[in-house]
Amino acid sequence: MKTILMDYTQKDKQTAEKITYDLERKGVRVWNDEFDIKLGDNIFEKKKESIKCCHYILILLSDQSNRTTEYYTAITKAKKDIVILLIDNCNIPNILKEYPIIDLQEEYDDGLSNVLAHLKNKLESKKNQTEKEVTVSSVDLKSVTLKNPILKSMQTVSIEQFFNEFSNGKELEKYKKALLSIFEFAKMREAAYLLFGGSFAVEKDSPSNVTCVIVFRHQSDIPRDHGRFFLQETTIDVYFATIEDQNTLSTHQQLLSMASNNQGAGVIKIDITNISMDQLQRIDHNISDNSTSLIDLYQPRGVLVTLHGLLSRAKWNTELAPIVSSQGWIFAPYVYKSCVDLLFREQKRKRAVDEFRSWIFDIQMRYKGVPISVIAHSFGTYIIASYLAGFDEDIPVQFQSVILTGSIVHTNYDWKTKYEQSKIIRVRNEIAKNDSWVKRMPDGIIRLSKKFGQSGVKGFAQNCDILTQHNNKIFDHNNVIKRDVVEQIWLPYLNANSNLDFLE
């Protein structure tokens, strides 16, 4: 569900935390809005800044609520969906009486169910909202064949064009049956469209890697199982994304648009909403019997989340994706808006962690029961460390393994306690003495946060069973995430930990 802001006074903090926890257990992500108001701060400006990122506001009202009419006026002017939650028999300000009011005083569970039902109805009413994408016109497939220059943008084609002209040639003929199976699978699951990249969008006679993203409309539509299509020595990797989650979808589109040499390549889009099964059967009739396919729907080994650093587009994701997916991992790169200000401004750092909190909870709800591991680089290490430290005991999302590289987390970070609190099972820290970026972090920056440090070059001071640290003279800040390290070191480490259980 969309981001929900919980508005309350500090005197109602305990009740707000209970409601937040109960809603998140039901799959609703809630942002607890706690302000660090300092002398001279304008409370209205603070509120205006915080509600920009939310879609719905839950206002907690009690006898202890001491908000002014001006305060509530500032909230209502934001034109967000507002719900009033009563936790005792108090007066309701006139300006809030026009909004839905849900009583949580006596029948708490019934009241919570009403909150969930109201939010669900609001979301349902927006299901047919037009997707926010740049429209591209169809293209003559004669300009898209593999023997012509690399595409430079996303091109929309019909399914007939895709099969009749794009997939021509002896080397491509064998793929057609597998491609048709993907389309049939997507159609049965009511997907919106498909994206193809890799060898299907670059100048290459004999494809060696094929990547497809099946795009659904809503998070709830995504199948739990993942799929692969095997053709002799070639694997077609199939990923899932949704129109609702534009950040993840944009990341997939970026990965598809990168050729193996990191040069820009095109992405092919096929809309299947108006395709009938009869059309697919006609295509099947025209496909040679020499074209074979085998689909393997499997329970994934785990979800692998990647967190990039500052001023980075994480191009290494393009190399990481096919490697980890080939070994049964669901690849889930997290992309945030990075800038140098994140180092200096506490509020921006807090927002980055809050946004990750919402995103990772969605990942967990999408792949229920599938363990989550993380590869974090540079500022990404700060994000995962801050998330883990943000919950005293119970945590919405647990992590099986975390790999840190270029870590800027403080050397005194307490990993042992995180394990004892069942937040994490294993941690691997890559120590690179030649990491000049971490080595030269000014003391002025390190003092800005208790979590900042130089564990990427000094290692963590704590000695505990869950933490392994490895020194390397070749690594620097940017050259660690390479194929040799991923295939020979990190994936064996992640695979070995995939069956471990959290501490009871």
The answer to whether 363 and 305 have CB atoms below 8 angstroms apart is yes
Confidence category of residue 423, pLDDT binned at 50, 70, 90: very high
Q: How many other C-beta atoms are found inside a 10 Å radius of the C-beta of residue 23?
A: 20
- The C-alpha torsion from 392 through 396 and 400 to 405, rounded to 10°, is -70
Q: Which two tokens stand for residue 376?
A: 């974090």
Say what the pLDDT of residue 459 is: 94
DSSP 83-131: EEEESSS-PPPGGGTTS-EEE-SS-HHHHHHHHHHHHHHHHHTTTTPPP
Say what the pLDDT of residue 384 is: 95
- Among residues of the chain, what percentage have pLDDT more than 90? 16
Which sequence spans correspond to the domains of the chain? 4-124, 141-297, 302-497
Pairing of strands 226-231, 295-298: antiparallel
Contacts 24+ apart (CB under 8 A), 184-189: 184/277, 184/280, 185/214, 185/227, 185/295, 186/214, 186/272, 187/272, 187/275, 187/277, 187/280, 189/214, 189/216, 189/221, 189/223
Write the class of the CATH domain 141-297.
alpha beta
Mean pLDDT over 480-498 rounds to 87
The answer to whether 207 and 176 have CB atoms below 8 angstroms apart is no
Say what the pLDDT of residue 66 is: 74
Mean pLDDT over 83-111 rounds to 87
Q: Which two tokens stand for residue 165?
A: 């002209």
Say what the pLDDT of residue 39 is: 39
Mean pLDDT over 427-455 rounds to 86
Q: How far apart are CA 161 and CA 140, in angstroms?
A: 8
The answer to whether 268 and 155 have CB atoms below 8 angstroms apart is yes
Could you read off the pLDDT of 61-89 as tens digits, one per residue?
Answer: 988 877 888 888 878 887 788 899 998 88
Say what the pLDDT of residue 399 is: 95
The answer to whether 201 and 268 have CB atoms below 8 angstroms apart is yes
Confidence category of residue 416, pLDDT binned at 50, 70, 90: very high
Beta bridge partners of 401: 426
The answer to whether 301 and 495 have CB atoms below 8 angstroms apart is yes
Say what the pLDDT of residue 132 is: 37
Q: Which two tokens stand for residue 106?
A: 């006596």
- Tell me if residue 331 falls in helix, strand or coil: strand
Say what the pLDDT of residue 376 is: 94
- Among residues of the chain, what percentage have pLDDT more than 70? 71
Say what the pLDDT of residue 145 is: 35
> Who wins on pLDDT, 152 or 138?
152
CATH entry, 302-497, from 3.30.1490.20, 3.40.50.1110, 3.40.50.1820, 3.40.50.10140:
3.40.50.1820
Could you read off the pLDDT of 395-405 as tens digits, one per residue?
Answer: 899 999 999 99
Say what the pLDDT of residue 106 is: 77
Say what the pLDDT of residue 287 is: 66
Say what the pLDDT of residue 1 is: 44
Mean pLDDT over 419-447 rounds to 87
Q: Which of 213, 23, 243 is nearest to 113 (CA)?
A: 23
The answer to whether 372 and 400 have CB atoms below 8 angstroms apart is yes
DSSP 179-235: HHHHHHHHHHTT--EEEEEETTSSS-SS---EEEEEEESSGGGS-SSEEEEEETTEE
> Who wins on pLDDT, 406 or 319?
406
Say what the pLDDT of residue 125 is: 56
Q: How far apart are CA 292 and CA 15, in angstroms?
A: 59
Confidence category of residue 2, pLDDT binned at 50, 70, 90: low
> Who wins on pLDDT, 389 or 362?
389
In this structure, the chain runs to a length of 504
User: Looking at the domain 4-124, which fold is it?
Assistant: Rossmann fold (3.40.50)
Listed range (95-104, 151-160, 446-455, 488-497) with the worst mean pLDDT: 151-160
The answer to whether 189 and 218 have CB atoms below 8 angstroms apart is no
Could you read off the pLDDT of 18-39 as tens digits, one per residue?
Answer: 888 777 666 666 765 443 344 3
Q: Which residues contact 328 (CB under 8 A, 6 or more apart)?
A: 298, 300, 301
- The DSSP letter of residue 150 is P
CA distance to 92, 183, 208, per residue, from 274 (Å): 50, 12, 31
- The DSSP letter of residue 257 is T
Pairing of strands 267-271, 193-198: antiparallel
Q: How far apart are CA 441 and CA 142, in angstroms?
A: 53
Whether the domain at 4-124 and the domain at 302-497 fall into the same CATH topology? yes
Average pLDDT, the chain: 76
